């Protein structure tokens, strides 16, 4: 007991950051968060109160042998805990929040009048939320699935939200596919387990999905942490300059840490010890002042060009063809601060791709138009009609004619007129010279086009070894899937490319045989070799010099 007291006293006068930062070593700050708090607050931070602010007597911190309902501290705590969960996001439920800034590095005024992108050196703060797409809130970040980053830039012209994923194509272009995708890629309603048969059944009937699935099963599938991936809003955005002239662009956030990925085995090994590795890696990079950054580029085509391409540039299920666009750098995004409260910031953040600013009218395709509605609807369910009044979502400046509803209402525009138009000097609209003067209609073809997938297989994958890894990974997702559906899947892969179909079929047969053999063993026996490895690993870890040594 005495030892513990001495230790705590000692810690309180030492600065953790100098004590534990070794040269060239990334310190894991995660376990030290509370110790750091104590160092910053050498004394208790104040008097304990009930939620209504009444000081709590020490006798109220024990509810035994008393009438529990007259103890407000007890009632308060229990009834608030009862309701502390809110709905998790329907997709991208597992997230982690960060702060940073965006800095303009190039002059792009001839493309967009957006204030946030004009003025070299201009910095705009943002809140960002990294996420993994399919997992539930407590899920495994190392799962092979789409990662995302949503950023909310607090610009002078309102919030600008970019919702990005870590591959440059999307699953589908028809908004009607949203619901079936969310359900088929998630838990089987009876088994409550993710179900490859559902995924492949759906995908074989909607072959357009195969493109993103191929990116996901390739080396691009599992990035080596949130810092080591590129990020794409995917849609082609219309942007306008101050003369109202339009261009179409695809934004690309390119990692300045270098792309890097994990194999399935590496990811599974890490997940067995630390399913929060992505969050930890980001937290520690920031805590160690090794701030991750991304260069923001845009691929540009003119309106003229867009009308004469031999492909649909607004189709999010394909890439723009090489040679049909040029690339312009806008600036740099730097992540440099951990949030001090994940629920307040990350969980309550409400991103909406429709949160755009003058100079960026946004994508004209049907999928995007559906998203303008869908995110609002999701936020109303999850956070309520006033989600934009929650601290993290409030723009720098805002004056609306909307009022009331469920809290938070903030100032509720006080005594200003609550209808428009009015003659009593309520807020007035601007005249935006950049407001687009053309109306774009996108015509989407309904036919199946496997060409972009063949292009990915033959030209984006750099060699046969990578093609083999893609086939192997795809084959493992077919193991134990209904045979009829496996047959359709292999057929579809062959239609994309004979070689892809063949490699996957061979690999599938081998993988299924191994699975059949393994199924004859009971679970404990089957995992015995892996258990032994993990044992060795944990012992090894206990023996490695750790930060504890310096205590």
Q: Please, are residues 235 and 206 in contact by the beta-carbon 8 Å criterion?
A: no
Instruction: Return the range that interacts with ligand HEM (CB under 6 A); candidates 78-86, 367-375, 419-427, 433-441.
Output: 367-375
Instruction: Return the range that interacts with ligand NAG (CB under 6 A); candidates 115-123, 259-267, 338-346, 525-533.
Output: 259-267
Tokens of 149: 């980053």
Q: With binding defined as CB under 6 A, does residue 370 bind ligand HEM? A: yes
For residues 471 to 510, the per-residue mask of contacts with ligand NAG, x marking binding by CB under 6 A and - elsewhere, is ----------------------------------------
Instruction: Return the range that interacts with ligand NAG (CB under 6 A); candidates 49-57, 234-242, 258-266, 322-330.
Output: 258-266
Q: Is 454 helix (H, G, I), strand (E, B) or coil?
A: helix
Q: Please, are residues 278 and 96 in contact by the beta-carbon 8 Å criterion?
A: yes
Rule CB under 6 A: choose which of 39, 63, 72, 259 binds ligand NAG.
259
CA 97, CA 342: separation in Å to the nearest integer? 6
Instruction: Return the range that interacts with ligand NAG (CB under 6 A); candidates 51-59, 183-191, 255-263, 517-525.
Output: 255-263
Contact of residue 24 among ligand NAG, ligand HEM, none (CB under 5-8 Å per partner type): ligand NAG
Query: Of the two residues 135 and 140, which places its CB atom closer to ligand HEM in the complex?
Result: 135
Q: Which of residues 197-256 bind ligand HEM (CB under 6 A)?
A: 233-235
Instruction: Return the range that interacts with ligand HEM (CB under 6 A); candidates 157-165, 239-247, 328-336, 478-486.
Output: 157-165
DSSP secondary structure letter of residue 64: T
Q: Is 181 helix (H, G, I), strand (E, B) or coil?
A: helix
Mark residue 321 as left, alpha or beta (left: phi above 0; alpha: psi -120 to 50; beta: remaining).
Answer: beta
User: Quick count: other Cβ atoms within 10 Å of Cβ 431?
Assistant: 5
Shortest gap between Cβ of 170 and ligand HEM (angstroms)?
4
Shortest gap between Cβ of 547 and ligand HEM (angstroms)?
32
CA 234, CA 174: separation in Å to the nearest integer? 14
> How many residues of this chain interact with ligand NAG, rule: CB under 6 A?
7
Buried/exposed code over 389-406 (b: 16+ C-beta within 10 A; e: otherwise): bbebbebeeeeeeeeeee
Only one residue has tokens 């009834």, namely 79
Shortest gap between Cβ of 271 and ligand NAG (angstroms)?
18
Using alpha carbons, select from 320, 348, 177 the residue that is nearest to residue 249.
320
Using alpha carbons, select from 209, 180, 233, 210 the residue that is nearest to residue 365.
233
Q: With binding defined as CB under 6 A, does residue 463 bind ligand NAG? A: no
Query: Of the two residues 215 and 351, which places its CB atom closer to ligand NAG in the complex?
Result: 215
Only one residue has tokens 């090489």, namely 322
For residues 297 to 336, the per-residue mask of contacts with ligand HEM, x marking binding by CB under 6 A and - elsewhere, is -------------------x--------------------
Using alpha carbons, select from 341, 337, 284, 409 the residue that is nearest to residue 127.
337
Cis geometry, peptide bond prior to residue 421 (ω within 30 degrees of 0): yes
Q: With binding defined as CB under 6 A, does residue 82 bind ligand NAG? A: no
For residues 397 to 436, the per-residue mask of contacts with ligand NAG, x marking binding by CB under 6 A and - elsewhere, is ----------------------------------------
Contact of residue 154 among ligand NAG, ligand HEM, none (CB under 5-8 Å per partner type): none
Using alpha carbons, select from 438, 441, 442 the residue that is nearest to residue 244.
438
For residues 15 to 54, the per-residue mask of contacts with ligand NAG, x marking binding by CB under 6 A and - elsewhere, is --------xx------------------------------
Q: Which phi and psi angles does 130 have, rounded to 5°?
A: -80, 150
Q: At what angle do helices 2-12 and 33-40 cross, to 10 degrees?
A: 70
Rule CB under 6 A: choose which of 151, 249, 367, 475 binds ligand HEM.
367
Question: Which residue is at the shortest CB distance from ligand HEM?
Answer: 148
**Distance, C-alpha 281 to centroid of its chain:** 15
CA 367, CA 108: separation in Å to the nearest integer? 27
Shortest gap between Cβ of 231 and ligand HEM (angstroms)?
9
Could you tell me how many helices (H) and strands (E) the chain has, helices first?
18, 8
Cis geometry, peptide bond prior to residue 408 (ω within 30 degrees of 0): yes
Give the H or E element holding residue 154: strand 147-155
Q: Which of residues 212-251 bind ligand NAG (CB under 6 A)?
A: 219-220
Contact of residue 170 among ligand HEM, ligand NAG, none (CB under 5-8 Å per partner type): ligand HEM
Tokens of 483: 């045979």
Query: Of the two residues 261 and 468, which places its CB atom closer to ligand NAG in the complex?
Result: 261
Residues that bind ligand HEM (CB under 6 A): 89-92, 95, 129, 131, 148, 150, 163-165, 170, 175, 178, 233-235, 316, 349-351, 367, 370-371, 374-375, 378-379, 382
Residues that bind ligand NAG (CB under 6 A): 23-24, 219-220, 259-261
């Amino acid at each position: 007991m005495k030892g513990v007291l001495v230790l705590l006293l000692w810690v309180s006068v030492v600065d953790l950051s100098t004590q534990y930062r070794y040269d060239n070593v990334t310190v894991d700050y995660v376990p030290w968060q509370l110790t750091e708090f104590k160092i910053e607050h050498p004394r208790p931070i104040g008097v304990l109160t009930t939620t209504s602010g009444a000081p709590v007597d020490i006798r109220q911190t024990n509810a035994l042998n008393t009438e529990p309902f007259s103890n407000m501290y007890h009632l308060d705590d229990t009834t608030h805990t009862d309701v502390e969960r809110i709905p998790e996001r329907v997709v991208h439920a597992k997230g982690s929040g960060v702060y940073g800034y965006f800095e303009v590095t190039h002059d792009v005024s001839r493309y967009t009048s957006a204030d946030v992108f004009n003025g070299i050196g201009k910095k705009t703060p943002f809140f960002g939320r990294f996420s993994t797409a399919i997992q539930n809130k407590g899920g495994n970040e190392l799962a092979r699935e789409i990662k995302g980053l949503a950023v909310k830039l607090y610009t002078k012209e309102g919030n600008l939200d970019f919702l990005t994923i870590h591959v440059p194509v999307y699953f589908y272009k028809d908004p009607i596919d949203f619901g079936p995708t969310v359900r088929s890629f998630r838990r089987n309603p009876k088994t409550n387990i993710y179900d490859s048969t559902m995924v492949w059944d759906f995908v074989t009937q909607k072959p357009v999905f195969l493109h993103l699935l191929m990116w996901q099963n390739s080396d691009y599938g599992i990035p080596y942490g949130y810092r080591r991936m590129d990020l794409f809003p995917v849609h082609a955005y219309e942007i306008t300059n101050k003369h109202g002239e339009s261009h179409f662009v695809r934004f690309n956030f390119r990692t300045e840490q270098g792309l890097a990925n994990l194999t399935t085995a590496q990811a599974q090994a890490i997940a067995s010890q630390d399913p929060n590795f992505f969050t930890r890696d980001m937290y520690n990079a920031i805590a160690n002042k090794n701030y991750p950054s991304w260069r923001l580029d845009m691929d540009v085509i003119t309106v003229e060009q867009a009308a004469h391409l031999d492909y649909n540039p607004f189709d999010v299920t394909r890439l723009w063809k090489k040679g049909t666009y040029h690339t312009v750098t806008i600036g740099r995004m730097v992540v440099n601060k951990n949030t001090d409260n994940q629920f307040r910031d990350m969980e309550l953040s409400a991103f909406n791709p429709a949160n755009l600013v003058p100079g960026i009218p946004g994508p004209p395709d049907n999928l995007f138009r559906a998203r303008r509605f869908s995110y609002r609807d999701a936020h109303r369910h999850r956070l309520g009609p006033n989600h934009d009044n929650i601290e993290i979502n409030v723009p720098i400046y805002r004056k609306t004619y909307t009022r009331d509803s469920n809290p938070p209402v903030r100032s509720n525009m006080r005594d200003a007129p609550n209808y428009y138009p009015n003659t009593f000097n309520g807020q007035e609209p601007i005249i935006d010279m950049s407001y687009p003067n053309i109306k774009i209609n996108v015509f989407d073809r309904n036919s199946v086009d496997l060409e972009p997938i063949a292009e990915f297989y033959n030209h984006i994958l750099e060699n046969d070894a990578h093609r083999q890894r893609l086939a192997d990974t795809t084959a493992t997702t077919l193991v134990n899937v209904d045979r009829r559906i496996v047959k359709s899947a292999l057929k579809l892969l062959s239609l994309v490319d004979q070689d892809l179909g063949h490699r996957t079929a061979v690999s599938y047969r081998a993988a299924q045989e191994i699975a059949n053999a393994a199924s004859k063993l009971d679970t404990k026996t089957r995992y015995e070799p892996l258990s032994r490895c993990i044992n060795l690993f944990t012992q090894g870890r206990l023996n490695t010099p750790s930060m504890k040594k310096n205590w």
